[in-house]
């Protein structure tokens, strides 16, 4: 299974929208998102997989869009990251999620 890991930074002043998102997408299934993390301007966060949703975050119903389409959006900056970087952030947010329950 070929996976793609992205960090997407959005520059905005809307507290209801995340300013940092992380995606794990399955490149073999039309970029189907497997896991997502969202971090909001106030420091709150959400996470989702096919098995759970936390906070305001959910998996997209449709596949993810291409890197080029994301980069073409105004004030949105995508970065390809490593699986290790994704997993480190995922682990930190899981610990925070469990502490908040």
Residues of the chain with pLDDT under 50: none
- Local structure of 84: helix, strand or coil: helix
Q: What is the mean pLDDT of the chain?
A: 91
User: For residue range 30-50, what is the model confidence (pLDDT) as tens digits?
Assistant: 678 899 999 999 999 999 998
Q: Which pLDDT does position 61 carry in this prediction?
A: 78
69-73, long-range: CB < 8 A, 24+ apart: 70/6, 70/8
| Ordered strands of the 53-54 beta sheet | 53-54, 45-48, 32-39, 20-26, 3-10, 76-80
Distance (Å, whole) CA 87 – CA 77: 20
Residue whose structure tokens are 């998996």: 59
Q: Which pLDDT does position 27 carry in this prediction?
A: 78
Q: Which pLDDT does position 33 carry in this prediction?
A: 87
- Please state whether the predicted TM-score (pTM) of the whole model is above 0.75: yes
């Amino acid at each position: 299974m070929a996976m793609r890991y992205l960090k997407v930074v959005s520059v905005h002043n809307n507290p209801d929208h995340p300013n940092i998102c992380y995606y794990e997408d399955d490149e073999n299934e039309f970029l189907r998102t497997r896991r997502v993390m969202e971090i909001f301007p106030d420091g709150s966060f959400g996470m989702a997989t096919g098995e759970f949703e936390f906070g305001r975050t959910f998996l997209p119903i449709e596949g993810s869009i291409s890197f080029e389409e994301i980069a073409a959006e105004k004030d949105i900056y995508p970065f390809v990251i490593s699986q290790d970087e994704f997993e480190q952030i995922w682990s930190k947010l899981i610990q925070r999620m469990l502490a908040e329950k």
